[in-house]
Amino acid sequence: MDNLDPLDPVARARDLGPALAVAADSIEGGQRIPEPLQGQLHRSRLWRMLLPRSAGGDQIEPATFCLAVEEVARHD
């Protein structure tokens, strides 16, 4: 992950685009996210977008969360 700026989760989601595109068929077929991609999502902190800062999260605004999810969905 090149961009770990907690203020820009959309860019972090965009950085995962190629990995998401490669895994899309596997995700659709198996109805689960493959472990390598799970790790990438974890390292990019996308699982922590809505988690409060006091709990180690990024505590982003809901609108920004939606934009990041939209970016992930572009590659599905």
Residue 42: inside a domain, yes or no? yes
pLDDT > 70: percent of the chain:
91
CA distance 33 to 64: 23
Contact (CB, 8 A) for 40 and 1:
yes
Residue 68: inside a domain, yes or no? yes
Residue 1: inside a domain, yes or no? no
Report pTM.
0.80
Residue 59's pLDDT band (cuts 50, 70, 90): very high
Residue 4: inside a domain, yes or no? no
pLDDT tens per residue, range 6-37: 569 999 999 999 999 999 999 889 999 999 99
Domain count, the chain: 1
Residue 32: inside a domain, yes or no? yes
Residue 2: inside a domain, yes or no? no
The DSSP symbol for 59 reads: -
Task: Provide the pLDDT for residue 5.
Answer: 60
In the predicted structure, residue 2 carries a pLDDT above the cut 70? no
CATH classification at residue 58: 1.10.540.10
Structural domain harbouring 60: 9-73
